[in-house]
Amino acid sequence: MTANSTSNCSESLTNNIVQEADNKLQKKRKSFVALYRPHKEISVLSEVGFIVIEDGWDEQSLLALKQQTGLGTLFGLQTSDKHIEKFEIIDRMIICKADEVEQVISVFESVLLHQGMMGIVYRDIILPWGADKAARYIQTKVTGMPSAKLLEYAVNNLLKQTPKSLNIKSMVLNIESGHKISEDEFSGVPDVIYSQISDDAEVFYGPRVTDKPNYYRLEAIYVAG
Residues 117, 225 within the same domain: yes
Residues 144, 77 within the same domain: no
Q: Is 166 domain-assigned? A: yes
Which is higher by pLDDT, 73 or 99? Answer: 99
Tell me how far apart the alpha carbons of residues 166 and 57 are, in angstroms, rounded to a whole number. Answer: 31
Contacts of 9 (CB under 8 A, 6+ apart): none
Q: Is 95 domain-assigned? A: no
Print the domain residue range for 222.
106-225
Residues 31, 115 within the same domain: no
Residues 110, 213 within the same domain: yes
Q: Is the pLDDT of residue 206 over 70?
A: yes
Which is higher by pLDDT, 28 or 115? Answer: 115
Of 37, 65, 90, at which residue does a domain stop? 90
Task: For residue 188, give the CATH number of its domain.
Answer: 3.30.1330.20
Of 26, 56, 90, at which residue does a domain stop? 90
pTM score, whole prediction: 0.80
Residues 61, 27 within the same domain: yes
Note the pLDDT tens digit of each residue in 110-159: 887 776 544 456 667 776 676 677 899 999 999 998 899 999 999 999 99
DSSP state of 131: T
- Sequence length of the chain is 225
Position 70 confidence tier, pLDDT thresholds 50, 70, 90: confident
Q: Is 111 domain-assigned? A: yes
Residues 82, 153 within the same domain: no
Q: Is the pLDDT of residue 163 over 50?
A: yes
Q: Is 139 domain-assigned? A: yes
Tell me how far apart the alpha carbons of residues 137 and 107 are, in angstroms, rounded to a whole number. Answer: 10
DSSP state of 84: -
Q: Structurally, how many domains does the chain consist of? A: 2
Residues 42, 144 within the same domain: no
List the end-to-end C-alpha distance of the chain, in Å, as a whole number. 67
Q: Is 187 domain-assigned? A: yes
Q: Is 123 domain-assigned? A: yes
Which is higher by pLDDT, 157 or 14? Answer: 157
